[in-house]
Amino acid sequence: MKKLLSLILLALVGFSVQAQRKLKGVFDYALFKTEDNMPYMEAYLKISAGSFTYKPNANGTYSGNVEITIAASSQGSKLDWYDKYSLNTGEISVDDTANISIMDGKRFATKEGKFRIDLVVRDLNSPNAGIIEYADSINISFASDKPVIAKPVFIDKFYKTTSENSFSKSGFDMIPNATGFYDGEDSVMTFYTEIYGTPEYFGKGERFVVKYHVKNNETGVTVAGTEGIKASPVQNVFASLFPISIKNVGPGEFSLVIEVRNKNNELITSTERTFQRGGRINYRAIEDLSTVGTEFMALVESRDSLVEFIRCLNPISKNQEQTFSKNVIKSGDKEMMKKYIVSFWLRKDPVNPEKAWMRYKAQVALVQKIFGTQYLRAYDTDRGRVFLQYGPPNVRSERPNEPFAYPYEIWQYNELYNPITERRQTNRRFVFWNRESATNNYELLHSDALFEQKNERWEMVLYGRGKGTTDIDQVSPGNGNGGQSRDLFNSPR
């Protein structure tokens, strides 16, 4: 394997480099095989923009630095592969340090079998800012009796490779969309996959067909205009990028379906991968404030208050709104800030935007009183963000002093509406924990809600045993310690 490089993505918006950060990110992986039929894993990590800390350099620039630890272990073994390394943004000028995302990719030779994968990310410039932790069990298995379709990778951007790096594959540098989420204005979804075993199944010199489409998961019906087809001669490794138009894909949950068929159009094998589609926003209206008045913001003259009013909208803002709002803050123009706030609430409630704002502002004040910390505004904490995004939980179970456990809370929602994806879910739960009991900052450890952090070994972490066993099937420490977390998670009260 070639040594892998990391990619630093820079966006042109601004923020205070000294502000306290809450480390956030997303992790994804895919399994492939080499020409020699050897399996390997690709691991993708995106550390969210604005969630890590910059330290000033002597020459007036700034640098961000994170430490990444990733490991995989199989049943009964200590480690199958392991890597620990740091990523540094390099020297960034203060004008360019506004909104940085770090995208990292690694490849690991592996073998077939069941593994536990563990990931830990730390902000080296701010050790107390939080840690990203991920744990999952994966089964690496490639069928031998029919062709195998590798798990498709959603691709955010791709370019022809000019210099080999960790995102290079089949002649292209492919930057993955690790979230599997597409905003309402995205018109094309691109994915990459590989197919193995076609010569053995179809015979040398034969041809086969790859078909793909998007399926609505609620109805099971193919979305019109998303179908595609590609014929190919058999080959040891079939590899290709595929674009799909998603103009006809409305908000909701969908599946990308990939099929391998023979020359008679008979289905041989298929695979699916779920993705989410957000609601539609007129983003041109977001950027064009010329027709928007200041209205209920007209009398607010404090720049600090206006900045606070914009930042507190993050829990209910879509990606484009967050990006544009940071540019508005960076401008320092008070009139533009007022117009942005008014335009935001006009999109939320065209009939009575002021009432919607006042109702939300009251919620912000409430969560600040309950969840605010010495260093973080409540809307920047996990509990505050969840409360503002989804509303108050139906059940909040607090366990600050349970034996052998970190302080924790379990929230349950009978019905959960996500204002960003415009998707409704039922019976969703959130587990928060406080690894530093001297603070009021409970971090999100696990949730079964879509697009929220998941950790199937959350009980092991909660009871301080996350690294105390090599049994990859053990996701719970058992009942011997008197813990109530699993019971509360299954039956909130």
pLDDT digit string, tens, across residues 123-136: 888 876 667 888 88
Per-residue pLDDT of 293-325, as tens digits, reads 888 998 989 999 999 999 999 999 988 888 888
Pairing of strands 207-216, 228-233: antiparallel
Three-class SS of residue 371? helix
Q: Where are the alpha helices (DSSP H) in 13-119?
A: none
What's the gap between Cα 310 and its chain centre?
23
pLDDT of residue 14: 28
CATH class of 143-280: mainly beta
pLDDT of residue 447: 92
Q: Where are the alpha helices (DSSP H) in 332-411?
A: 334-348, 353-371, 382-390
* Whether 80 contacts 73, CB under 8 Å: yes
pLDDT of residue 258: 97
Q: Which fold has domain 1-142?
A: Immunoglobulin-like (2.60.40)
pLDDT of residue 169: 87
Integer CA distances (angstroms), 138 to 1, 25, 39, 472, 473, in order: 22, 20, 14, 10, 10
pLDDT of residue 352: 87
Q: How many helices (H) and strands (E) does the chain have?
A: 9, 24
pLDDT of residue 210: 97
Sequence ranges of the domains in the chain: 1-142, 143-280, 283-382, 393-490
| Tokens found for residue 276 | 């989410």
pLDDT of residue 479: 55
Integer CA distances (angstroms), 447 to 410, 421, 433, 477, in order: 9, 17, 12, 18
pLDDT of residue 130: 66
Lookup result for tokens 């993708």 = 44
Q: Which residues of the chain have pLDDT under 70?
A: 1-21, 75-77, 94-100, 128-130, 280-285, 287, 465-482
pLDDT of residue 16: 32
The span from the CA of 339 to the CA of 353, in Å, is 12
CA dihedral 229, 234, 237, 239 (to 10 degrees): -20
Per-residue pLDDT of 179-197, as tens digits, reads 888 887 788 999 999 999 9
pLDDT of residue 6: 37
Count the neighbouring beta carbons within 10 Å of the beta carbon of residue 448: 13
pLDDT of residue 9: 33
Three-class SS of residue 335? helix
Geometric angle at alpha carbon 131, from 74 and 69, rounded to 5°: 40
